[in-house]
C-alpha cells in the first residue's frame, strides 16, 4: 500500500492507519486509460421532514410518504452479503444508532465484518446531515461529535468516515467546510449549488475544487477538497431501479420478450461520456439512489450487477469504459492519485438558486420561533447542562432532585443531546418541515430541557450546599413567572456559561410597588423594573429579592416621548414627527450616524403580472417577492416612553401586529430593539414576509458582511458573486444571505453591527441600508416537496404565530469593531441561566462560585466543557477572532490548562481533532494542490481539542 500513499506521512506502527489502508485497499481496482465510472449505492434519509424522525425510522405514516429506514438497513445488509462486490454507504447516525440497538449480537458481528471489509462505509457520520444556513457552529460540532463517537466506539477506526457528504442542504457555508477540514475529512461532496455557478463550473471543469475555508487558519488546516455531484444526488436519468421508480429493469434473457441490454448499455455509455466531459479526471461518480431508497435493495443491486457486467463486457471489443461499485472515499482516492491542481475557492455557496426566480433564501427565516427555541436550547441544554455536570461531578447525575440526564455510556445517549442533534438536520432548524414535524422537534427539545433541569438542580445544590427547591421560569420572554409574580421574598441564581465575567440586565415580572434587590454580598442593587446582574466566569452568583411595598407596579409611563435617550456610551435620537429612530451616536468614540428604522412587508401575490416570468411563489424554502419595493407598514409609530434608573425605553406601535421596544440599559454599549411581529394578517389573501430595515448614512458602496454559522465573517456585495459573473434576476431574494448571529455595514469611519438572537435572512439592497427578515407567513406551497404553506398557528396563537426577538445594535470605529461585537454576539448565544428559590436561603448557602481560577482572555472562548467518560472531560478552547479583525485580540494567546479550573485537577491532556474522534497526532489528511498561489495568512492555533 505504501506506493499508493507516497505523500502521506506513514506511521505504520499506528493500528488505525493500518486499518485505514485496509479500507482503502478494499476499493475495487480501477483501469488506467479508461473512463472509470464509480457507482455509489446510497440512500438519503432525512432525520425528519414530511414525517418525524421516528415515523421515518419505523416506516409509519406511509400515507404521507412511503419511507421506512429500518427496512432499508435490513434489506441492504442482506443484499451486501449476497455479493461481496457490492458496496453501500450510510450517512445519518441518528437512524443507524436506532437500528443498531435493535440488532442481535450475531447481526452486529455481521455488520462489523461488512464495515471492516469496506463493503458498508460510513460517510459524514454525524447524528444528522446538518443545515448549513441556519445552524450555529457550536451545535454542529456537537452533533458531529455525537455521531462520530458512536461510530468510533462501535466500529473503531474502520468506522471513521473519511468523506463529508452534504448532498441535500440548500447552499453551503464556508464555516462548515472549515469544520469538516478540522474534523479530519479528506474531502467533501454535495449536490446543490446555484444553477449559474454550476453552468460555469461545468464549462471550466471546476466542479471539483479546493475550498480554502478560513482566512485565518494556515493552509492546509482549513482546506477541503470539494466535489459537486453530477446529478444532485440522484441516479442518471433512466437508471433508477428503486421500488419507487419506474425505469425499465435490465431484461437480459434473449429468449424472452423485450430484451433491452443493448439499449441500456448504449444509454449508459452516452451518459457516462457526456459526464466525463465536464470533469477533470478519468474517474466519474454516479449516485445510485435517492430519498429513502433501498427499502427493497434487491431491485437496485440486481440491476446494478447486470449493468456492471454488460458495460464491462464491451471492453473485450475495445470499449474504454469501466464501471465499478464504489464509495465516495474510493472515488476520492482516485482523484487524489490523479495528482492534479484544483481551482481554489475562498467564498461560500450562498445563496442557492435552482432557477432565475427560485432563490432558496426564504428558509433563512422560516419558523422564527423554532429557530429561537433551538438557539436557547443550545445554550441551556448543550452548554450549561454539560458544564454544570463537569463542575459539580457525580452529584449532578444523582441528587436530591432525581436522576439527571447524562451520558456516560453511549448506548444511553442523553435525551437533551439527541434532541439538539436532530434539530440541526437540514429540514429541522431550517424550518422546511411539515408543521407536525416542527412540533415534534420542539417537543423533543422541551423534553430534553425537563431532564436537564434535574441535572442543573442537582449541580447547583451540590455547588451551593443548599437543596432548596429550584424553580425555572421558561416563559420570561412573555413576562410570565409564577414565582416572582407571587412571592414576597425569593432569590435568583444567575449562572454564567461564559469564561469571563459578564453583566446582564435581568427583567422579572413582579406584582408590587417596590422591591429590595441585594447581591451576594448583601449590597443592595439599584432596581426598578430591571436590574443588572454580574456573574463570575463559568459560575454563578445569587441575588435576593424582597417585596417592600404591595400594590400595583408604579406607573412610569410618560406621555411625551423624548427626542433622545442616552447613557454614558450611546445616544439615540427620535424624529418627533414620526416617532422613528433618527440617529445613533457612540459617545466614547464621538461618532454619529443617521439611522432610521422601519418595518415593511414583501409579498408574493399569485395573481400578479410577474407570473409572466415565473409563477414561483414564496414558501418554506423560497423567497420570491413580486416587487422590489416593500410595503411600508406605517410611516409613523405611536410612541410611549419609560425611564427608570436601569433602563430607558421607547415603545413604538406600527400596527396592531407590529411593535417594538427601543431599549437602552444604563451599562450597555448596545442598543436593544425588541420587536414583536404577529399575527401576520392574511385577511387580504396575501402572505407576508416581514422585514425591518435600517437606513443609515454609512457609505457602503454595495458591501456588507455576514457571519458564517456564527463564526468567521464574510464580505458580501449586492448583485455580485466572487466566482462568476452574476446575471441577477431577483433583486431582493437574490441578495439575501444567512445571518446566524451578526451582520454589519461599514465605511472608513463607521461600522454598524447588528447582533441577532437567532438565524435570520438579510441583505443590503441599497447603499447604507441593512435589512433583516423577521417573520414569514405564506399561503402557498413553494413546490419543493414540503407540500404545505408556511402558515404557522398554535394553541396560544390560533390567529397566527406571534414572534418576539431582539436585535442589538452597536456603533464602532471599523478597525476595532470586532472587539465589541464578538463578545456581544456571544452573550446572546450563551445566555445566563436563571433559577429561582422561594423564601429565605439557608444561611450556609454558598452564594457565589466560579469554576475557573481566573477569567480567560477575551480572545479565547470556552466552547465545550463536557464530561466525556468517568475520568475525562472534553474541553474545547477557541481563538475566536479572525486574523485581520483586531489589533488587540487577533494575536495568538497562551492558556495554562493547569491553572484553568478551580474544581478540577488536570492530570493529563491529549489533543484530538475537532470532532474528538481521532487523536491529533494520528490525523493525516490528503494533501491537495491549489491551482493558484496559496495566499499569505498568519499562523493561528484556533482550536485545542483536549481531554484531560
Ligand X SMILES: *[C@@H]1O[C@H](CO)[C@@H](O)[C@H](O)[C@H]1NC(C)=O
Catalytic residue IDs: 168
Minimum CB distance to Zn ion, residue 790 (Å): 18
Residue 396 in contact with ligand X, rule: CB under 6 A? no
Minimum CB distance to Zn ion, residue 323 (Å): 27
Minimum CB distance to ligand X, residue 916 (Å): 6
- The interface partner of residue 197, options being ligand X, Zn ion, none and the CB cut-off 5 to 8 Å by kind, is none
Q: Which is nearer to ligand X, 515 or 705 (CB)?
A: 515
d(CA 790, CA 778): 5
Q: Which is nearer to Zn ion, 121 or 168 (CB)?
A: 168
CB atoms within 10 A of CB 398: 14
Enumerate the β-bridge partners of residue 359.
353
Minimum CB distance to ligand X, residue 565 (Å): 30
Q: Which is nearer to ligand X, 764 or 917 (CB)?
A: 917
- The interface partner of residue 550, options being Zn ion, ligand X, none and the CB cut-off 5 to 8 Å by kind, is ligand X
| Residues composing the chain | 948
Residue 317 in contact with ligand X, rule: CB under 6 A? yes
**Neighbouring residues of 242: CB distance < 8 A, sequence distance ≥ 6:** 289, 290, 293, 294, 295, 296, 299, 300
Q: At 43, list the grid cell.
A: 440512500
Residue 592 in contact with ligand X, rule: CB under 6 A? no
- The interface partner of residue 247, options being ligand X, Zn ion, none and the CB cut-off 5 to 8 Å by kind, is none
Measure the CA dihedral 629/630/633/634, to 10°.
-30
Q: At 435, list the grid cell.
A: 408543521
3-state class (DSSP) for residue 461: helix
- For ligand X, the binding residue among 123, 779, 811, 828 (CB under 6 A) is 779
> Residue 351: is the preceding peptide bond cis (ω within 30°)?
yes
Segment near ligand X (CB under 6 A); pick from 514-522, 713-721, 722-730, 785-793: 785-793
Q: At 352, list the grid cell.
A: 442557492
Q: Are 407 and 887 in contact (CB under 8 A)?
A: no
d(CA 460, CA 454): 10
Minimum CB distance to ligand X, residue 518 (Å): 22
d(CA 695, CA 705): 16
Q: Which residue is nearest to Zn ion (CB)?
A: 168
Segment near Zn ion (CB under 5 A); pick from 46-54, 91-99, 339-347, 785-793: 46-54
Residue 433 in contact with Zn ion, rule: CB under 5 A? no
- The interface partner of residue 910, options being ligand X, Zn ion, none and the CB cut-off 5 to 8 Å by kind, is none
> Residue 931: is the preceding peptide bond cis (ω within 30°)?
no
Q: Which is nearer to ligand X, 319 or 702 (CB)?
A: 319
- For ligand X, the binding residue among 511, 610, 634, 767 (CB under 6 A) is 511
Minimum CB distance to ligand X, residue 627 (Å): 21
3-state class (DSSP) for residue 437: helix
Residue 872 in contact with ligand X, rule: CB under 6 A? no
For ligand X, the binding residues in 325-384 under the rule CB under 6 A are: 339
Q: Which is nearer to Zn ion, 47 or 847 (CB)?
A: 47
Minimum CB distance to ligand X, residue 508 (Å): 13
How far apart, in Å, are the Cα atoms of 817 and each of 820, 858, 865?
A: 5, 14, 28
Minimum CB distance to Zn ion, residue 338 (Å): 30
**Neighbouring residues of 13: CB distance < 8 A, sequence distance ≥ 6:** none
Say how many CA atoms lie within 13 Å of 220 toward its Cβ: 20
Look at residues 536, 482, 528 and name the one whose alpha carbon lies nearest to residue 507. 528
Query: How many residues sit in the footprint of Zn ion (CB under 5 A)?
Result: 2
- The interface partner of residue 6, options being ligand X, Zn ion, none and the CB cut-off 5 to 8 Å by kind, is ligand X
- The interface partner of residue 791, options being ligand X, Zn ion, none and the CB cut-off 5 to 8 Å by kind, is ligand X
For ligand X, the binding residues in 527-556 under the rule CB under 6 A are: 550
Look at residues 522, 494, 492 and name the one whose alpha carbon lies nearest to residue 510. 492
Sign of the alpha-carbon dihedral angle for 848, 853, 858, 862: negative
Q: Quote the longest CA-to-CA distance of the chain.
A: 98
Residue 124 in contact with ligand X, rule: CB under 6 A? no
- For ligand X, the binding residue among 2, 3, 6, 796 (CB under 6 A) is 6
Alpha helical stretches, state H, 132-189:
137-155, 174-182
- The interface partner of residue 918, options being Zn ion, ligand X, none and the CB cut-off 5 to 8 Å by kind, is ligand X
Residue 871 in contact with ligand X, rule: CB under 6 A? no
Minimum CB distance to Zn ion, residue 43 (Å): 11
Q: Which is nearer to Zn ion, 168 or 672 (CB)?
A: 168
H and E: helices and strands count for the chain: 17, 47
d(CA 236, CA 286): 7
Q: Are 344 and 210 in contact (CB under 8 A)?
A: yes
Query: In degrees, to the nearest 5, what angle opens at C-alpha 733 toward C-alphas 781 and 361?
Result: 60
Residue 644 in contact with ligand X, rule: CB under 6 A? no
> Residue 42: is the preceding peptide bond cis (ω within 30°)?
no
Sign of the alpha-carbon dihedral angle for 356, 598, 826, 885: positive
- The interface partner of residue 46, options being Zn ion, ligand X, none and the CB cut-off 5 to 8 Å by kind, is Zn ion
Residue 689 in contact with Zn ion, rule: CB under 5 A? no
DSSP designation for 919: B
- The interface partner of residue 521, options being Zn ion, ligand X, none and the CB cut-off 5 to 8 Å by kind, is none
Give backbone dihedrals phi and psi of 772, rounded to 5 degrees, phi first.
-135, 130
Residue 46 in contact with Zn ion, rule: CB under 5 A? yes
Strand arrangement, sheet containing 283-288: 283-288, 35-41, 321-325
Q: Are 637 and 798 in contact (CB under 8 A)?
A: no
Residue 389 in contact with Zn ion, rule: CB under 5 A? no
Look at residues 461, 547, 540 and name the one whose alpha carbon lies nearest to residue 496. 540
Enumerate the β-bridge partners of residue 808.
672, 755
Segment near Zn ion (CB under 5 A); pick from 45-53, 413-421, 633-641, 670-678: 45-53
DSSP code string of 372-412? HHHHHHIIIIIIIHHHHHHHHGGGGTEETTEE----SSGGG
For ligand X, the binding residues in 466-485 under the rule CB under 6 A are: 485
Residue 131 in contact with Zn ion, rule: CB under 5 A? no
Minimum CB distance to ligand X, residue 97 (Å): 15
Query: How many residues sit in the footprint of ligand X (CB under 6 A)?
Result: 19
- For ligand X, the binding residue among 793, 816, 872, 938 (CB under 6 A) is 793
Give backbone dihedrals phi and psi of 362, rounded to 5 degrees, phi first.
-75, -35
Minimum CB distance to Zn ion, residue 425 (Å): 8
For ligand X, the binding residues in 882-921 under the rule CB under 6 A are: 912, 917-919
| Binding mask of the shown chain, residues 149 to 168, with x at each position contacting ligand X by CB under 6 A | ---xx---------------
- The interface partner of residue 168, options being Zn ion, ligand X, none and the CB cut-off 5 to 8 Å by kind, is Zn ion
| Binding mask of the shown chain, residues 155 to 184, with x at each position contacting Zn ion by CB under 5 A | -------------x----------------
Residue 812 in contact with Zn ion, rule: CB under 5 A? no
d(CA 383, CA 370): 19
Chain centre distance of CA 401: 33
Q: At 604, list the grid cell.
A: 408574493
- For ligand X, the binding residue among 15, 313, 409, 854 (CB under 6 A) is 313
Minimum CB distance to ligand X, residue 346 (Å): 23
Q: Are 145 and 182 in contact (CB under 8 A)?
A: no
Residue 791 in contact with ligand X, rule: CB under 6 A? yes
| Binding mask of the shown chain, residues 918 to 947, with x at each position contacting ligand X by CB under 6 A | xx----------------------------
Minimum CB distance to Zn ion, residue 47 (Å): 9
Residues binding ligand X (CB under 6 A): 6, 152-153, 313-314, 317, 339, 485-486, 511, 550, 779, 789, 791, 793, 912, 917-919
Residues at the site binding Zn ion, with contacts judged by CB under 5 A? 46, 168
Amino acid at each position: 500500500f505504501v506506493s499508493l500513499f507516497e505523500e502521506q506521512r506513514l506511521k505504520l506502527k499506528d493500528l488505525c492507519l493500518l486499518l485505514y489502508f485496509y479500507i482503502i485497499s478494499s476499493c475495487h481496482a480501477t483501469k488506467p486509460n479508461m473512463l472509470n465510472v464509480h457507482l455509489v449505492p446510497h440512500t438519503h434519509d432525512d432525520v425528519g421532514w414530511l414525517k418525524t424522525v421516528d415515523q421515518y425510522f419505523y416506516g409509519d405514516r406511509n400515507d404521507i410518504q412511503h419511507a421506512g429506514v429500518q427496512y432499508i438497513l435490513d434489506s441492504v445488509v442482506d443484499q451486501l452479503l449476497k455479493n461481496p462486490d457490492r458496496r453501500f454507504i450510510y450517512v445519518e447516525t441518528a437512524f443507524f444508532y436506532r437500528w443498531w440497538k435493535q440488532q442481535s449480537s450475531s447481526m452486529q458481528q455481521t455488520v462489523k465484518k461488512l464495515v471492516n471489509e469496506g463493503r458498508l462505509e460510513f460517510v459524514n457520520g454525524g447524528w444528522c446531515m446538518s443545515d448549513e444556513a441556519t445552524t450555529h457552529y457550536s451545535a454542529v460540532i456537537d452533533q458531529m461529535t455525537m455521531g462520530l463517537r458512536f461510530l468510533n466506539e462501535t466500529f473503531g477506526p474502520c468506522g471513521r468516515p473519511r468523506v463529508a457528504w452534504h448532498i441535500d442542504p440548500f447552499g453551503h457555508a464556508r464555516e462548515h467546510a472549515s469544520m469538516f477540514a478540522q474534523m479530519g475529512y479528506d474531502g467533501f461532496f454535495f449536490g446543490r449549488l446555484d444553477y449559474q455557478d454550476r453552468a460555469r463550473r461545468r464549462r471550466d471543469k471546476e466542479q471539483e475544487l479546493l475550498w480554502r475555508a478560513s482566512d485565518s487558519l494556515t493552509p492546509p488546516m482549513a482546506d477541503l477538497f470539494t466535489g459537486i455531484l453530477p446529478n444532485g444526488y440522484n441516479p442518471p436519468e433512466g437508471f433508477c431501479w428503486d421500488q419507487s421508480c419506474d425505469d425499465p429493469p435490465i431484461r437480459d434473457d434473449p429468449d424472452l420478450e423485450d430484451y433491452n441490454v443493448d439499449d441500456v448499455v448504449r444509454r449508459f455509455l452516452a451518459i457516462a461520456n457526456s459526464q466525463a466531459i465536464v470533469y477533470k479526471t478519468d474517474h466519474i461518480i454516479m449516485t445510485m439512489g435517492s430519498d429513502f431508497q433501498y427499502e427493497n435493495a434487491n431491485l437496485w443491486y440486481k440491476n446494478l450487477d447486470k449493468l456492471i457486467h454488460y458495460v464491462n463486457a464491451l471492453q473485450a471489443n475495445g470499449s474504454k469504459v469501466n464501471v465499478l461499485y464504489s464509495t465516495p472515499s474510493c472515488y476520492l482516492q482516485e482523484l487524489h492519485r490523479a495528482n492534479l491542481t484544483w481551482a481554489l475557492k475562498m467564498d461560500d455557496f450562498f445563496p442557492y438558486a435552482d432557477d432565475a426566480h427560485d432563490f432558496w433564501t426564504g428558509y433563512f427565516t422560516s419558523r422564527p420561533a423554532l429557530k429561537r427555541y433551538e438557539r436557547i436550547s443550545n445554550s441551556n441544554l448543550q452548554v450549561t447542562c454539560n458544564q454544570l455536570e463537569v463542575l459539580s461531578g457525580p452529584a449532578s447525575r444523582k441528587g436530591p432532585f432525581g436522576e439527571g440526564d447524562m451520558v456516560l455510556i453511549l448506548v444511553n445517549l442523553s435525551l437533551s443531546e439527541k434532541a439538539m442533534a436532530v434539530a440541526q438536520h437540514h429540514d429541522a432548524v431550517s424550518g422546511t418541515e411539515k408543521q407536525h414535524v416542527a412540533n415534534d422537534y420542539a417537543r423533543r427539545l422541551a423534553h430534553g430541557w425537563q431532564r436537564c433541569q434535574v441535572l442543573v438542580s442537582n449541580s447547583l445544590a451540590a455547588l451551593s450546599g443548599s437543596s432548596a427547591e429550584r424553580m425555572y421560569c421558561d416563559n420570561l420572554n412573555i413576562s410570565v413567572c409564577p414565582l416572582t409574580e407571587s412571592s414576597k421574598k425569593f432569590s435568583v441564581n444567575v449562572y454564567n456559561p461564559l469564561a469571563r465575567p459578564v453583566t446582564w440586565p435581568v427583567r422579572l415580572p413582579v406584582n408590587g410597588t417596590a422591591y429590595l434587590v441585594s447581591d451576594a454580598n448583601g449590597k443592595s442593587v439599584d432596581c426598578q423594573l430591571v436590574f443588572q446582574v454580574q456573574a463570575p466566569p463559568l459560575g454563578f452568583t445569587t441575588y435576593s429579592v424582597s417585596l417592600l411595598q404591595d400594590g400595583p407596579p408604579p406607573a412610569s409611563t410618560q406621555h411625551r416621548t423624548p427626542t433622545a435617550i442616552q447613557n454614558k456610551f450611546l445616544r439615540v435620537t427620535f424624529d418627533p414627527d414620526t416617532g422613528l429612530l433618527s440617529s445613533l451616536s457612540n459617545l466614547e468614540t464621538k461618532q454619529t450616524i443617521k439611522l432610521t428604522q422601519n418595518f415593511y412587508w414583501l409579498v408574493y401575490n399569485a395573481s400578479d403580472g410577474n407570473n409572466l416570468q415565473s409563477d414561483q411563489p414564496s414558501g418554506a424554502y423560497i423567497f420570491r417577492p413580486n416587487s422590489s419595493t416593500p410595503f411600508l407598514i406605517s410611516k409613523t409609530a405611536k410612541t410611549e416612553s419609560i425611564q427608570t434608573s436601569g433602563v430607558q425605553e421607547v415603545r413604538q406601535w406600527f400596527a396592531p401586529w407590529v411593535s417594538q421596544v427601543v431599549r437602552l440599559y444604563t451599562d450597555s454599549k448596545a442598543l436593544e430593539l425588541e420587536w414583536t411581529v404577529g399575527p401576520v394578517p392574511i385577511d387580504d389573501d396575501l402572505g407576508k414576509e416581514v422585514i425591518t430595515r435600517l437606513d443609515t448614512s454609512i457609505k457602503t458602496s454595495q458591501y456588507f458582511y455576514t457571519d458564517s454559522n456564527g463564526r468567521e465573517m464574510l464580505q458580501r456585495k449586492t448583485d455580485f458573486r466572487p466566482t462568476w459573473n452574476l446575471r441577477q434576476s431577483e433583486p431582493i431574494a437574490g441578495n439575501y444571505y444567512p445571518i446566524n448571529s451578526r451582520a454589519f455595514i461599514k465605511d472608513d469611519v463607521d461600522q454598524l453591527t447588528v447582533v441577532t438572537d437567532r438565524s435570520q435572512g438579510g441583505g443590503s439592497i441599497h447603499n447604507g441600508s441593512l435589512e433583516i427578515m423577521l417573520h414569514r407567513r405564506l399561503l402557498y406551497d413553494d413546490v419543493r416537496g414540503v407540500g404545505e404553506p408556511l402558515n404557522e398557528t398554535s394553541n396560544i396563537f390560533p390567529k397566527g404565530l406571534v414572534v418576539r426577538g431582539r436585535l442589538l445594535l452597536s456603533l464602532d470605529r471599523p478597525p476595532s469593531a470586532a472587539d465589541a461585537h464578538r463578545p456581544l454576539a456571544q452573550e446572546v448565544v450563551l445566555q445566563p441561566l436563571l433559577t429561582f428559590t422561594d423564601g429565605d436561603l439557608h444561611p450556609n448557602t454558598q452564594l457565589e462560585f466560579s469554576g475557573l481560577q481566573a477569567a480567560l482572555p477575551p480572545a479565547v472562548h470556552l466552547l465545550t466543557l463536557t464530561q466525556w467518560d468517568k475520568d475525562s472531560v472534553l474541553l474545547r478552547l477557541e481563538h475566536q477572532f479572525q486574523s485581520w479583525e483586531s489589533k488587540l485580540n487577533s494575536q495568538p494567546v497562551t492558556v495554562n490548562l493547569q491553572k484553568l479550573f478551580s474544581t478540577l485537577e488536570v492530570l493529563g491532556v491529549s489533543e484530538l481533532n475537532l470532532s474528538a474522534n481521532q487523536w491529533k497526532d494520528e490525523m493525516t489528511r490528503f494533501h491537495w494542490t491549489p491551482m493558484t498561489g496559496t495566499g499569505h495568512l498568519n499562523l493561528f492555533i484556533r482550536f485545542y481539542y483536549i481531554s484531560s
